[in-house]
Structure 1
Amino acid sequence: MRTIESAIEIDAPPERVWEELIDFEEYVEWNPFIPRASGEARVGHRLTIKIEPPGAREFTFTPKVTVVEEPRRLAWLGRVGLPHLFDGRHSFHLEPLADGERTRFRQHEVFGGVLVPLLLREGAIQRGFDAMNAALKRRVERKAPVKA
């Protein structure tokens, strides 16, 4: 098993970050790592996700949503082929910071299966997570209401 993680602080409350995170149709406007996504953030539903890891081939898959804890956590399970060949358990965590007006946003994925050593491009995925986090921060902070 391999784990990849990336985190960033966003100057907006978790509810605001959550709105952008689950607005899959808008990913095309801002998300360099997942430029296409569709579906509904509901447990048991399948999403269609296209990832474009920097320096690696693009890939489209249909993960199943496993956790929705609005506005704190969204998770899915993606597979290539049969179970235990190449599985990815991806989660997004939104943690309110002490002031309640900022959020620590974290992506976390655990990869498992016999094909992981052959197929996983860790560096590309890490760069993709980092790029998505930075783009989400820019988008949310640009759209956040101005504080008085």
Structure 2
Amino acid sequence: MHQIVTEIDIAAPPERIWSILMDFPGYPQWNPFIRSISGMAKPGETLRATIQPRGRRAMTFRPKVLTATDQQELRWRGRLVLPGIFDGEHYFQLSARANGYTQFTQGERFSGILVGIFVAQMEGATKAGFTAMNQALKQRAEAGGNTNADSTLTIEDGA
């Protein structure tokens, strides 16, 4: 097993951050890592997600939602072909802090026989993707207002 965990403090309440995370159609406007996501955020449902770490080609997968607790946690599991080959359990967790802040945690637990082969890539591109998404989420949440009106925020790709 291998795990990647990233955290960021955001000057916004959990309900604001949750509303951004649940606005799947808005992801292309702000999210530099999860370029698109669709489906229902309900346990047992299957999502369709496309991720694209910087400098890599996009990958689309169909994870199953494990947990969707309002304003607290969204968790899904994706698999490569069959269980036990390369599985990833991805999660977003929100924890209210003092003064209206929220600690946002994004992580993934990887397991399966192919995990060792991909550890360097996961620690590089995947972790960088998580961090870029966290920063973009912070920028969007702290800007306030309607999530659809925040589309003027830009994400620099450093190219």
TM-score, length-scaled by structure 2 = 0.87
Post-superposition offset of 1:98: 2.0
- Answer whether contact 1:43 1:68 (CA < 8 A) is retained: yes
* Higher share of residues assigned helix: 2
Post-superposition offset of 1:143: 2.1
Residues 82-130 of structure 1, C-alpha deviations (whole Å, 9 max, x = no match): 000000011111000023x110001011000011122451210000000
45-54 or 112-121: bigger deviation: 112-121
- Answer whether contact 1:54 1:124 (CA < 8 A) is retained: yes
Q: Give the match's secondary structure for 2:98.
A: coil
Corresponding position of 2:151: none
For 2:56 and 2:116, the matched residues in 1 are separated by 15
**Aligned-pair Cα RMSD in Å:** 1.3
Corresponding position of 1:125: 126
Corresponding position of 1:91: 91
TM-score, length-scaled by structure 1 = 0.93
Gaps of 5+ in 2: 147-159
- Answer whether contact 1:16 1:144 (CA < 8 A) is retained: no
Q: In the comparison of the two structures, how many residue pairs are matched?
A: 144
Post-superposition offset of 1:56: 2.9
One-letter amino acid of the structure 2 residue matched with residue 67 of structure 1: T
Gaps of 5+ in 1: none
Taking only the aligned residue pairs, the percentage that are identical comes to 46
Q: Give the match's secondary structure for 1:35.
A: strand
- Answer whether contact 1:84 1:112 (CA < 8 A) is retained: yes
- Answer whether contact 1:12 1:144 (CA < 8 A) is retained: no
Corresponding position of 1:140: 141
